[in-house]
Every structure is written in structure tokens, then in C-alpha cells.
Amino acid sequence: MKEFELKYGCNPNQKPARIYTKDGSELPVQVLNGRPGYINFLDAFNSWQLVKELKEATGLPAAASFKHVSPAGAAVGLPLSETDRKMYFVEEAGALSPIACAYIRARGADRLCSYGDWAALSDVCDADTARYLKGEVSDGIIAPGYTEEALEILKGKKKGNYNVVQIDPAYVPAAQECKDVFGVTFVQGHNDAKIDASLLENIVTENRELPEQAKIDMIVALITLKYTQSNSVCYVKDGQAIGVGAGQQSRIHCTRLAGQKADNWYLRQHPKVLGLQFVDGIRRPDRDNAIDIYTSDEYEDILADDVWQQTFKVKPDVLTLEEKKVWIATQSGVTVGSDAFFPFGDNVERARKSGVQYIVEPGGSIRDDHVIATANKYGITMAFTGLRLFHH
């Protein structure tokens, strides 16, 4: 297939629309089911690059959940804990494949933002992954292959219209990439910067302790940021992005946004949240929305008389502001990454409130000394990579 006609571009009025290669070669993808659109393919190609690089850097299966050309979550395929299974509504008993665990964890970073996502897998999609994905609201998936059982399951999703794309894992893009904006063509070299543990050697803080899991988390953060609309900040724990702040004009707003998402992720593990008794037959998205409201300042919207009965079997006790503060204060072992330098120590101040103990960023600010001093104040380990990761 050398060309694929799209229904329309970003919006219905933007016609005609298609994808093709400028040199006339075959496209690196096959559409196995559905009819992906313009934004679907933008998500597909960005997310595939992320998971491919994450697998290469860590040696672990990787997955991403994309929305509007930025990851809502990304993760490597570490086993799910019992708490993970409860948080992410895993109903299937027994061990799950590593690639299924990777996607479940990637989607679990921010289940609200992952609603209607594009899924990406570094490895062949198996039945475990397909069965879980079938129960989620999702627009499509890209992977290097599919087992027969997985493909059959996915073809039955969305009344047979679910988008399934297979990509050639050996495909290498051209060294230069072009982009037209307002009739003007931009050309730049493809961002082939390699992200691995060698980038983490320049530790600039008094605390130089950097365990292997923190190194993996730093790599997850950096590769996630490489494919996130800038400015961007990413919080990671145990190989899983737990908060991504994308496309903010101010770095501190990125840090706050991603930190709030990380806090929300951790609040889903609070005993009161795990103990919520939902009505029978409730859909996963409705549970996600209910949990989001319950843990927010607008909890009265879900707990009001004649309202809570639509969602819960038993009216939940309020999760108070004090309880939330106490719970969030127990979070630890979190890594935060930034796609460009932190200009002020306020980013470190905000990050440590969400349990951050490790920071990875390019460095290079005229206030690096102040940022380092703030990290030293809290015993945080910080590495400077010297590599900026802007993505637009």
C-alpha cells in the first residue's frame, strides 16, 4: 500500500486527506480492520516510536495510551499487583502476559484521559491484551503483529469498526522530515537522539544514590517526554508514567498538572476508593468518572441525595481533604523528568510534594545552582542529561 485515503483531516471540513511517502515507497503499515483517520495516524506513529524506543532502552515490553498526539500514559511490562488489578478493573484471573500488563499499566496512568485512546504495543498483541482492550473505550491500536485470537477479538470491537494497524518493526524513517504550515515547508533532521542509561551519569546533587529501578523510571520519563507535546513534565513510578503534563506554556504549570495527575493516580489506591461498592453492571468509564469526582473537591456532585444511588450500592463516606493530604504524603520513590531545564527551584518544591525522590532534566539554566540547592534541601537525586526533548 503506497497511499491511504482518509475520511478527512483534523476536522471534517479539511478535505481531501491522505497519507503517503514522498519517495513513493510502500507505507510501513497495514490496516487490518477499520478506517483510521488523520489524528489516529498521528497518534499511531508517535506512540509506536515511543514504545519501540522504550523496549530497546529497557529490554522490557512497552505500551502507550495516546490522546491528541500526546501520551496519557506509558509503561513497561512489569507484573500487576493485587492493588493494580483493583485499580484498573482487571477481571481476568491468573497471570497476564507482559505486554498485557504494559498496556493495562499505561492506560492506568490516567484512565480519564485515556478514554477513547489510541493504544500502542512494542510486541505482538496477544489475546490477554485484546480481551482487556475490548472492554475499554478506545479508537484503535498499532502493534508489530497480532495473534489470530487477538485479531478476532479486536475485529469484534465497535461493531466491527475498531481500527487495527500493523506496522513493520524494521521500518526506518528518512533522515529528514518535512512539515507544511501555512503553505510554508519546514525541514529538520529526524529526532534520532538515543536515550539510555548513559545519559544518567551526570548526577549533580549531593545525594548520588540512583538504584536500577530509578534508572528505568528515568528512561521511561525521558522517552515519554520525547513524544509529548512541549512543554512537558512526566512523573514515573515502577516503570509506569503516573502523571503527564503536556503542552503548557509555563514549566511550573506542567509540573503542577503532572503532579496533580500523579496524586490522583495515588488516591485511587486509598482504602476508601478501593472499597467503593459500585452498582451491578456499571461500565468502566462510569466507574472512572465516579472515582474522579469522588476524589476531587466536587465530591458532593456524586454523593448528593438521590444521586449516589445511581452509582453506588452503599453511600460512601467522604474522603476528606485532610485524609487526602495524609495519604499523598505517604507517596515515595517517584521520578520526575522534564523535556527542558527547570528554570526555578519551585518545580522541585512542587515535585517533592508528590513523593519525588529522583529528577532527570537537561540542565543548562542560569539558575541551575538554585535548582540543585533546592534538590539538596530535600535529599533528592538529580541527573542532568544535556539533552533537550522538545516535541511539536
E strand intervals along 84-189:
117-121, 138-143, 163-167, 176-181, 184-189
Spot the catalytic one: 163, 231, 264, 347. Answer: 231
Instruction: Give the strand order in the sheet containing 334-338.
Output: 29-33, 163-167, 138-143, 117-121, 62-67, 70-76, 240-246, 232-237, 334-338, 356-361, 381-384
* Ramachandran quadrant class, 201 (left: phi over 0; alpha: psi -120 to 50; beta: rest): alpha
Catalytic site includes residue 231:
yes
Name the DSSP class of 104. Answer: H
CA distances from 201 to 95, 196, 210, 246 (A): 36, 10, 10, 26
Cα 255-69-332 angle, rounded to 5 deg:
30
Contacts of 223 (CB under 8 A, 6+ apart): 50, 53, 54, 57, 74, 195
202: enclosing H helix or E strand: none
Catalytic site includes residue 392:
yes
Give the three cell numbers for residue 10: 483534523
- Identify whether the C-beta of residue 19 lies closer than 8 Å to the C-beta of residue 27: yes
Nearest to 235 by CA among 133, 332, 322, 168: 332
Catalytic site includes residue 315:
no
Spot the catalytic one: 67, 226, 237, 270. Answer: 67
Please state the separation of Cα 155 from the chain's center in Å. 25
Question: Up-side HSE of residue 369: CA atoms within 13 Å toward CB?
Answer: 1
337: enclosing H helix or E strand: strand 334-338
What burial class does residue 25 get, using C-beta atoms within 10 Å of its C-beta: 0-12 exposed, 13-18 middle, 19+ buried? exposed
1: enclosing H helix or E strand: none
Spot the catalytic one: 2, 22, 159, 392. Answer: 392
Catalytic site includes residue 391:
no
Report the alpha-carbon distance of residue 47 to residue 49 in Å, rounded.
5
Spot the catalytic one: 68, 158, 315, 391. Answer: 68
Catalytic residue numbers? 67-68, 231, 392
